[in-house]
Chains A and B, each alone.
Chain A
């Protein structure tokens, strides 16, 4: 290993991010949260997420989007219109000193915005270009359009959701939020850091092509192989393979009932006070308990309804039965376990005040995960970065602002 040692650790890495929305922003955030320097390049009218809330009192304000703040803390922000040659020239300046470019500009837009991967790599041999798209950079549908909803369907996830649905007339259901976009970002971050190891050894960068469709299609449990191993098409309709496995009502909320291992079922039966019905043939093993889940649920409901969620959760877990509360947002903020682990952290965001946001996805012994600065205001660091660090004359910046390039 010929890597040059550097006590700053991941702080030596310089990342440039462009595009809009969740995926690229999250990927760059993952690296920035570990100490890397991130410069976010926004279009002059601002990132799409500035127009999506939550906003306090639902009042849209490009400087008050809580999700924008969450996704873009730890970054400095500049603006550049990449459809404009002068805007592209600014991006080129930033890339000269960058190790990693993460973006999610779709393949059909790249040539126009100076983001063709091969051209960028030829010009900057040390640059790692991680591009995130719905269907990948190449292939017959590379130029198709897609949003999160399309990604969850293209990857095969929505077709399986909600699990064991009794409603064939209702469509495949998208999981909440931007899960596919978050996965696109996470895959870009992990491959970019892997490529960074190569760069430290050889000095060479490369192009990385992340497809959200493929990332999601790799996450379908055993469903893909149901077809390729056993010729079975699977969908959200039908019954569970193992049971008990369902959502049920306690006095004060919903609980997820799960006991699919034999020892878990035995503990659960004991916890229920050894009811006679539990000895019935139709509940003899986890497969039969799944096939007869409606009957099982009906029999268990009264017992479950006698509890508060927390009490049943704790009683089950103390007997190694993996029940879980169907937590609300509020309940997570108030959760004693997450509190003791100091999971949520404060993000002091000008315009929004102190936000309480999710913290580190993994707790490191040595790497320092931290929020070091709030998300940038639109164009906040144009002068500091472009003039101060990349040698753009101040009068030129003023002209670029007038022309709309910045």
Chain B
């Protein structure tokens, strides 16, 4: 079967920045036709941030945009003009899904409320992915990914032992909102397949990430206690740390031991089989209790080895170990390469650049990146011709009036 799971789905994509585009890219991975509306009124921030290909600025040269908009089409409108809004509205009639990640109320103001969309397409599915959700006392607050990590306790609970709350390195609530939003849309499509009904989905970025914080939240709920920050340590397992590798470079290897068998294997692999029966480390409970004595023993071994050498030796012995991967490590990784995860499609302006691809494989409906991210407005003419039947002359007129750019 050549059809992909969402081959029959067209998405009108008002999203911008990261969370929304991540969501619609996930739908594109699964075969949806995603028409990204780009507005001159509010150019996407990811087109304007580095890295740019070969460090030359340009909206089509931004890696950030080109990573999270693979497989999509792009049309360029001036949404400050009522005619442009009207055109977008006409496109909605031909779409199954309308997606945005504006602050609450922005889509209504633009004229794309669910009520209005439903009038022209009764079974339309609309998702609004905002920072705080569409209702509630803080609905107008400005939400970004990193503040959602603060709101949801990710900063509060992440940190080195005994240290302050820490930022978590990436704006995780953004891609998470994208994944959870894509899930919600697919569920709604399935609901439509089965019942004929469309619906509106209100997603708060904060709430979407809170479902992953249950381990911390429940500690408060059950024991009225805030969990302590534990760095890389686990509440039960030990050893459980990311250890320094050989040399002065910033090279590390993560090692986690979850069973007595793995402990035994680790002791043997690091050349200290007697340690396995040391009364201080014999059981998981004891290892956890005496973790402070355990970590230096393992560091003494990892410090003598390259991160891959350590990981290979431990994995061969049956112990979970993996280097801490940098962006370069990932891009050069033979395993990811062999799995076809890393993709290099021809892009009209930046040529072949490596990108992260589809993070899953499907045997019956093979999903893959079908095209590189679009140039800004690359598909404007084609979309209006094929979906609305516009002539080139009409498009030229609209472009002259700067409705279409």
Contacts and interface: CB of A to CB of B under 8 A. Distances in A.
Most buried by A among B3, B140, B193: B193
Interface string A126-165: 0000000001111111001111111111111111111110
Contacts of A50: none
Interface in B293-312: none
A10 B157 contact: no
Interface string A208-226: 1111011101111111111
Contact of A195 (B160, B338, B365): B365
Most buried by B among A70, A218, A245: A218
Main secondary structure of the interface of B (DSSP, over half): mixed
Interface residues of B, number: 157
Contact of A322 (B144, B221, B323, B336): B144
A47 B22 CA distance: 33
Contacts of B258: 147
Contact of B222 (A1, A51, A66, A341): A66
Given A171-B252, A326-B150, A176 B193 contact: no
A70 B214 contact: yes
Interface residues of A, number: 154
B155 A173 contact: no
Contacts of B273: none
B136 A162 contact: no
A121 B363 CA distance: 10
A53 interface: yes
Contacts of A154: 254, 322-323, 325
Interface string B54-75: 1100000101101100000000
Nearest to A152: B254
A225 B137 contact: no
B254 A230 contact: no
Contacts of A219: 170, 172, 175-176
A233 to B, nearest CB: 5
A225 B179 contact: no
B142 A236 contact: no
Interface stretch (B353-361, B383-391, B396-404): B353-361
A176 B144 CA distance: 20
Interface string A187-218: 10111011111101110111111110111011
A80 interface: no
Contacts of B218: 54, 66-67, 70, 355, 357
Nearest to B223: A54
Contact of A361 (B154, B180, B236, B350): B180
B256 A325 contact: no
